[in-house]
Amino acid sequence: MEGKLGLVGYPIKHSLSPWIHQRFLENTETIGTYSILEVLENELEQMVQTIRKNSYKGFNVTLPYKQKIIPFLDELDPHAKEVGAVNTVLNRNGKLIGYNTDGIGYLRSLTNHYPAFVEDRQKNVLLLGAGGAARAIYYALNQSGFQFIDIANRTIEKAQSIADLKTPVSKTSVLTLSEAEKNLDKYDLIIQTTNVGMKPNEDEVPIRLEKLQENAIVSDIIYQPIWTKLLKEAKSRGASVHHGHSMLLYQAQYAFEIWFGRLPIITNMDIQLKQLLEG
Ligand code: NAP
């Protein structure tokens, strides 16, 4: 067998990762399996040992262990080290190496849907939220050359800690959510990364969009529901939208590439996954 893979987290019984990676295995003609490895925190170290012993090719890590997994790994790639979280682990001849594919996955998904936008790195970007996903996205966008990325968050200190990341060139302002709301017309791309609007709280929005530019893109990384209230409002104001399931696919694609050095094609899967989530 070329690749034994899995997902470590809790709770993960309803995860979409097995669905995605099973298709990747098929469309790259790779022989392998992808299992759900649901563990409690006190079982995490034992699970890593089991994974080593059973010669897994690699595994994904999700909430709540993206940081807690780090002490059990042998090495981190520079991106995961700076972001401080791991969502993908490669077993290279018995050595477990941690990666973070969220930021690059996000950038790939944006590039796929809005190629012309991504070419102009002078665009003004607003990141809503300052959790793990925001940190990874900020770092990847900045590394790729976007300089003007402001961060708005409920807890200002967390936004500041992202602005303090070691990045090549950055002109970042840290804002409250209400300041972001008042200055929204400044931004070409708004990336929503908070939990606000996620099932079952689908009627909530992190900010109001009264001041949104008509030609802006509003991106929400939440994928349950696929149409968050924020995205519906953005569309009704004439803005372009970018859905969260796409980041899910592209971060998985990058993980697969780390494990096997092969790039699965995901064009049809984007539509299939959207339909699956729309029920
Ligand atoms: P996290 O580290 O827990 O961060 C959560 C963020 O949401 C923080 O900025 C937090 O603000 C904010 N927040 C939570 N409740 C809030 C409220 N009531 N009002 C205002 N802000 C609130 O989570 P994460 O890992 O970054 O994930 C965030 C979201 O992204 C989740 O919905 C997750 O499912 C989604 N996600 C999607 C993908 C994908 O592939 N599409 C990948 C990763 C994550 P404070 O700092 O003030 O607490």
Residues 87-140 pLDDT 10s: 999 999 999 999 999 999 999 999 999 999 999 999 999 999 999 999 999 999
pLDDT reported for residue 19: 96
* 4 given a catalytic annotation: no
Q: Identify the active-site residue in 57, 66, 158, 232.
A: 66
Q: How far is the CA of 164 from the centre of ligand 1 (A)?
A: 19
CATH code for 104-242?
Answer: 3.40.50.720
Residue 66 has a pLDDT of: 96
Question: What is the distance in A from the centroid of ligand 1 to the CA of 128?
Answer: 9
Fold match, 2-100+246-278 / 104-242 = yes
**Residues in contact with ligand 1 (CB, 6 Å cut-off):** 102, 129-134, 153-155, 158, 193-196, 198, 206, 221-223, 244, 247-248, 251
For range 183-196, the mean pLDDT: 98
Residue 1 has pLDDT above 60, yes or no: no
Q: Residue 267 has what pLDDT?
A: 81
Q: Where are the domains of the chain?
A: 2-100+246-278, 104-242
Contacts of 266 (CB under 8 A, 6+ apart): 249, 250, 253
CATH number of 2-100+246-278: 3.40.50.10860
Q: What is the pLDDT of residue 165?
A: 87
Peptide bond into 64 cis (omega under 30): yes
Beta bridge partners of 7: 36, 60
Each residue of 78-101: pLDDT tens digit?
A: 999 999 999 999 999 999 999 999
* Count of CB atoms situated within 10 Å of the CB of 40: 8
- H runs (alpha helix) in 164-243: 177-182, 229-236
Distance 137 CA to ligand 1 centre (A): 12
